[in-house]
Structure 1
């Protein structure tokens, strides 16, 4: 069972997310918070597998909450739900330690899949969010990064598919290899590129 905590200052959105999660047999909502301060306190006590985090909240916002939660518990998986108007918050949330980004108006199945992927150690993100993250990252640092030496042809292929936003299972299916092999390639890629998480690796795929 995946233990999920919901963080959003709008009760209606939390209620909708709870109903969605309650309908899934493998997901359990263990707590809710209406602001970042409460989220930090709850996360410390509940130790949820996945924290579904809003970014814009009064008082302590989602970026600050994410940073403090991840600093206290590096294994925490914070999945950000964002809107089209949150571009200024995307890259800071990534730097704070968010593991993935999905749009608030994403289809229900996509949201549930994102929670499952986050719990499994993957970094789910919608293609639109990825494009916006890449654009902001390139604008903030327009110089081209140094090419990474020592990548095998297989690793470069995996890197390209990570950049497309594919999950481990989708990459395995595309390349006709096992999921475990994909995970091995991604671990090697993170080490070689200096990417601390999958989202950063996806950014590197677009900028490299």
Structure 2
């Protein structure tokens, strides 16, 4: 990756911001261009500085990270947004996913995980820390039956495609892996969304995690 990824760190703890800056600036392809200490400042600087990626804490003064995320999405902010938080909580995870977050990473993760999440979302992929997958598997018996029915409705090719969606690959990359055209992949993705009743790739990836869909 030759281009420099510009980053904004939004966190109300100065020591956390300093620590993240030191970690990220060890990477030659990543540059921290600004910091924010509350939700209002985050929104203003996102509009002004237009960072490629925003690392967004949830617990911040004035406007919390959840509300800042909602407002940024509402105004059409083009920055990729990774929630970087202490909350390994299903409610927070699902709320941010439903709001269209690009990544969700815990603050106690290692630096390699953080750097990978930044590079993945910058490339248009989604990144949900793998250790959080168990939080997505809390369903009633009736829901499990319904989910199994959706899973069994997938064709072999659709099954292959959804495993690659879960890995964060885009349509072009999936086509290259499966030796099919990007247009064909797009058709498969559309069919998958209808069958499993989801609206986007993050929700499809969650479905794959929850239903233990793995490479054949």
Shorter-normalised TM-score: what interval? 0.7 to 0.9
Deviations 1:21-68 (A, max 9, x none): 111111111111111111111111111111111112222111111111
**Ranges in structure 2 where 5+ consecutive residues have no aligned partner:** none
How many aligned positions are there? 199
* 2:42–2:68 Cα contact (<8 Å) kept: yes
Give 2:190's aligned residue.
191
2:156, 2:127 → 1: CA distance? 24
Per the TM alignment, residue 190 of structure 1 is displaced from its structure 2 partner at its CA by 4.6
Q: Return the match for 2:63 from 54, 60, 69.
A: 60
Q: Tell me the TM-score normalized by structure 2.
A: 0.76
Q: Return the match for 1:106 from 78, 103, 109.
A: 109
Residues 61-140 of structure 1: matches in 2 within 5 Å? 61-73=64-76, 75-132=78-135, 134-135=136-137, 138=139
Per the TM alignment, residue 81 of structure 1 is displaced from its structure 2 partner at its CA by 1.3
- Judged with a 3 Å threshold, the aligned counterparts in structure 2 of structure 1 residues 74 and 31 are, in CA distance, closer, same or farther, namely closer
Q: Tell me the TM-score normalized by structure 1.
A: 0.79
Larger radius of gyration: 2
Deviations 1:82-136 (A, max 9, x none): 325544321111122211111211111111111010111100111122321x236
Per the TM alignment, residue 74 of structure 1 is displaced from its structure 2 partner at its CA by 5.3
- Judged with a 3 Å threshold, the aligned counterparts in structure 2 of structure 1 residues 77 and 121 are, in CA distance, closer, same or farther, namely same
Give 1:46's aligned residue.
49
What root-mean-square deviation, in Å, do the aligned CA atoms of Structure 1 and Structure 2 show? 3.3
Per the TM alignment, residue 202 of structure 1 is displaced from its structure 2 partner at its CA by 1.1
**Ranges in structure 1 where 5+ consecutive residues have no aligned partner:** none
